[in-house]
């Protein structure tokens, strides 16, 4: 194994419940909109990857027409992104327990770190910089470079291309079914570390499924890669 590609939301960081959801509600309030995303129902909205795509799907469900959404969603999402950056800067978004120890374990062995996320670069870079150190990860592929979002494999294919490695030398760490499908469609073995929002996701084809990073080390990832069936 020569590299590990990490997902961000729900994987490196616990960013959905206390991050994107909270920032979205603050943006709704600022815009004088009556919508609020509660903790439970937000889990269903996560089936749609991409913040703008998720807003469109939700507002369409609330009966808002296409033209009104096309005008409102980019402004609402831009404000949500600013508010999310402020939550990160205020320390309200934290790494999942055990992630930092795993990153150190991987780096000590000279194995490379990369990122492939659906999220927007405008918040991804400051978050990685504040919590981990941005230059530990190369490449960092975001929704800006891969607009067709997971479960489409393009983010992982771009990360693999940036690493210049063969799929058999790389393992992915994800938190969700959409991420698992994207990694496998890119021909990559995928370890899934579920969270409260993804524990019930269908995860067939995962090389390994666990519910915490605590105790997840390099040797476990290497074993998962060596036993993985990457045939899609």
Residues within window 43-62 making contact with ligand XBP, judged by CB under 6 A: 49-51
Minimal distance, residue 162 CB to ligand XBP, in Å: 16
List contacts with Mg ion (CB under 5 A). Answer: 7, 9-10, 175-176
Q: How far apart are CA 101 and CA 93, in angstroms?
A: 18
Contact flag: residue 153 with ligand XBP (CB under 6 A): no
What is d(CA 187, CA 5) in angstroms, rounded to the nearest whole number? 13
DSSP class of 7: P
Query: If contact means CB under 5 to 8 A according to the sort of partner, which of ligand XBP, Mg ion, none does residue 153 touch?
Result: none
User: In the complex with Mg ion, which residue's Cβ is closer, 71 or 200?
Assistant: 200
E strand intervals along the chain? 3-6, 112-116, 137-141, 170-174, 189-193, 208-210
Cα(223)–Cα(60) distance, integer angstroms: 45
Report 56-115 residues binding ligand XBP (CB under 6 A).
none
| Positions marked catalytic | 7, 9
CA–CA separation, 9 vs 84, rounded Å?
A: 12
- Tokens found for residue 80: 């949500």
User: CB nearest ligand XBP: which residue?
Assistant: 51
* Total Cβ atoms within 10 A of residue 29: 12
Report the distance separating Cα 29 and Cα 19, nearest Å. 16
> Shortest distance, CB of residue 150 to ligand XBP, whole angstroms?
5
Cβ distance to ligand XBP smaller for residue 128 or 216: 128
Residue 95 binding result from ligand XBP, Mg ion, none, given CB thresholds of 5 to 8 Å by partner type: none
The span of 4-12, 34-42, 98-106, 184-192 binding ligand XBP (CB under 6 A) equals 4-12
Under the criterion CB under 6 A, does residue 150 sit at the interface with ligand XBP?
yes
Maximum Cα–Cα distance for the chain, whole Å? 53
Interface with ligand XBP (CB under 6 A): 7-10, 20, 49-51, 117-120, 143, 150, 179
């Amino acid at each position: 194994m020569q590299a590990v590609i990490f997902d961000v939301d729900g994987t490196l960081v616990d960013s959905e419940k206390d991050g994107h959801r909270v920032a979205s509600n603050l943006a709704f309030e600022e815009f004088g909109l009556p919508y609020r995303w509660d903790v439970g129902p937000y889990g269903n909205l996560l089936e749609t990857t991409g913040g703008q795509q998720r807003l469109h799907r939700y507002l369409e469900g609330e009966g808002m027409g296409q033209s009104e959404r096309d005008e409102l969603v980019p402004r609402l999402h831009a404000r949500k992104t600013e508010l999310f950056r402020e939550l990160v800067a205020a320390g309200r978004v934290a790494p999942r327990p055990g992630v930092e120890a795993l990153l150190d374990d991987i780096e000590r062995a000279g194995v490379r770190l990369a990122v492939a996320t659906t999220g927007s670069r405008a918040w991804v870079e400051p978050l990685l910089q504040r919590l981990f150190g941005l230059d530990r990860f190369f490449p960092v592929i975001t929704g800006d470079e891969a607009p067709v979002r997971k479960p489409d494999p393009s983010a992982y294919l771009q990360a693999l291309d940036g690493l210049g490695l063969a799929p058999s030398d790389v393992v992915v760490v994800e938190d969700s079914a959409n991420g698992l499908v994207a990694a496998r469609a890119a021909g990559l073995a995928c370890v899934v570390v579920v969270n409260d929002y993804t524990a019930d996701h269908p995860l067939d084809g995962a090389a390994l499924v666990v519910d915490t990073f605590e105790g997840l080390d390099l040797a476990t990832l290497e074993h998962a890669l060596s036993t993985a069936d990457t045939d899609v």
